[in-house]
Structure 1
């Protein structure tokens, strides 16, 4: 896999464990030291099979690319090569990493819905209810994931209905449900005003545009500085640093505002990452410098907030927020598939 060109360093807001080395990025163990390195573990095998199941969806996206004259033949070639990679991984788990394929279609759809989503949020006068609606919006945006074969197929068949998704989230209590605790502290914490909030973002499309950005806009409106940390390199449909800059540029008006809210305190940072998960001992120096004054860290999405960093300890307040989209993760957590998780840790 292509690696980041940036020099990577340890994230400064991780609790200092130089002596104990207690920080482990992976929340769900894929293998143990006693496992045979030449044989995939049951967990690894389940992920390989999951990726294999996504091939028809990836191939369909590639076939529909009108910018490529021979899209159909290239898509078929991709499907064959990808299948071979996965078969090789079954024989040797250390063989490869998985490839990338993404389009701008979901971004365009989500941008067209942004104003309506924000207007509905702004119309909620009660601060706690507005926060809950924004949180539900993050879950609704996060549900679409090209890395989930089941969700990709549903999206392809039924299209994207953001409001319906918000209404049809699984009922509370969720598998980890600290929403009420967060609501109680929302208006009281030091990060209400003149604070810095760092959000590690996940997917492009509805996730970033209809989920995260309305939430970030609310923080900006309350007087916070917001840093959005995005991947350096593409991975599945994770939003990249350059892509996020373009998205925000399209959403801003001529005065640089997001529907009436100034973006002068909105920063977009390159995390240095190129995976759908993140190891916080390897982040860009730019991000680490921006983190020095952060009051709240938010890890959004299943890869960054559950599969990695669910148990990470920070020097500041933190929130893990994601939807459980894979059966393997649901089994590990003991949750329902498509359950929601919001973990708030106060220091």
Structure 2
């Protein structure tokens, strides 16, 4: 199930040599009928997530016979993954992270599940909204603009931890919940596995951007306590900000309709976000329906409003690391996220829960 309107390439993407998936699952000389070790590893990663997805589906009270249908989801998706191990070209393969995500969503939707993470998203949004004022006040109290920037970036990483697409984090979350401020303090120390923050800090001091496009990710602390304080800081500097969010639900990613609701709860009666005017803040439907994104296929709406942006930010592991880490743009870009899969950490030569801040500046 994709966007109802025709999809188009993201206009700021340099399409030559673009591959949405960062990690090469196979090479041209690999046997097309035999899965590669990387494909097997990623198929197993998605297989390990089945129990947590099944559990969420079972508790979806909007679906009749949810328990029975959740069992069917687990069986059917598990069979598809086993098929891919036997024949990588089955089910539209060879597999990569986009296909594996798409097949999972297709099975869920065919069985009547539209948003199995709805309840946890609503709960986490409510918690994060209650903390928003405190988090923003702590940031605003930092007088040095560069130190404030660094704190805002750490806030994005801390918000990233609310990710129920990671089997390990889903288990931790179900047991303990997440503490945003503790997460900020417990980030792995710099230098991170990809760390261009110092270069960006220099540019933050000497230049400004007219329009920034954020490809946003998770609900809860991620969008509310991580991205929105950073977006607010850009608004305060005079930058127009576009928040591009999914059209359809996927895992605990925020949708563009949910984002409208979140902002309506955070703005005051004058339409301000804790004293900052939001007239230059725009929410756009990206046309996407997955936790990863192929930038050759976005909504016409997003393509239109983003065409003259001079800063693109791809946030979180799905959009900014597993896909699009090496994507090139016609303007400045940031890929920012936390590494939450061991397979990604190994590929990057970093640690689990390491941070990625990749900044590319385009010369005028």
Q: TM-score, normalised by structure 1?
A: 0.91
Q: Match for residue 10 of structure 1?
A: 9
Q: Distance in 2 between matches of 1:69 and 1:278?
A: 31
Q: Distance in 1 between matches of 2:250 and 2:35?
A: 22
1:282 and 2:297 correspond: yes
Q: Distance in 2 between matches of 1:72 and 1:12?
A: 43
Instruction: Describe the SS at the equivalent of 1:281.
Output: coil
Q: Match for residue 174 of structure 1?
A: 192
Q: Match for residue 123 of structure 2?
A: 105
In structure 2, runs of 5+ residues without a counterpart are 92-101, 109-115
Q: Distance in 1 between matches of 2:281 and 2:170?
A: 31
Post-superposition CA distance 1:47-84 (Å, at most 9, x none): 22112222332233344446668554554444334333
1:316 and 2:331 correspond: yes
Instruction: Describe the SS at the equivalent of 1:98.
Output: helix
Summarize the alignment of residues 104-183 of structure 1 with structure 2, pairs less than 5 Å apart.
104-183=122-201
Q: Match for residue 357 of structure 2?
A: 342
Q: Match for residue 201 of structure 1?
A: 216
Structure 1 residue corresponding to 2:308, chosen from 274, 293, 297: 293
Post-superposition CA distance 1:277-314 (Å, at most 9, x none): 22222121111111222111111111211122212221
Structure 2 residue corresponding to 1:215, chosen from 230, 243, 248: 230
**Cα pair 1:13 1:292 within 8 Å, conserved:** yes
Post-superposition CA distance 1:231-269 (Å, at most 9, x none): 122222222222222221222222222122121110011
Post-superposition CA distance 1:79-104 (Å, at most 9, x none): 33433333333334442711363122
Q: Distance in 2 between matches of 1:106 and 1:57?
A: 17
Structure 2 residue corresponding to 1:240, chosen from 255, 270, 273: 255
Aligned pairs, number: 339
Q: Which moved more, 1:36-45 or 1:6-15?
A: 36-45
The structure-2 alpha-carbon separation of the partners of 1:73 and 1:113, relative to structure 1 and needing over 3 Å to count, comes to: farther
Instruction: Describe the SS at the equivalent of 2:212.
Output: strand
The structure-2 alpha-carbon separation of the partners of 1:12 and 1:72, relative to structure 1 and needing over 3 Å to count, comes to: closer
Q: Match for residue 25 of structure 1?
A: 20
The structure-2 alpha-carbon separation of the partners of 1:315 and 1:68, relative to structure 1 and needing over 3 Å to count, comes to: closer
Q: Match for residue 264 of structure 1?
A: 279
Q: Distance in 1 between matches of 2:360 and 2:261?
A: 32
Q: TM-score, normalised by structure 2?
A: 0.87
Q: Which moved more, 1:295-304 or 1:73-82?
A: 73-82
Q: Distance in 2 between matches of 1:38 and 1:234?
A: 33
Superposition deviation, residue 120 in structure 1? 1.1
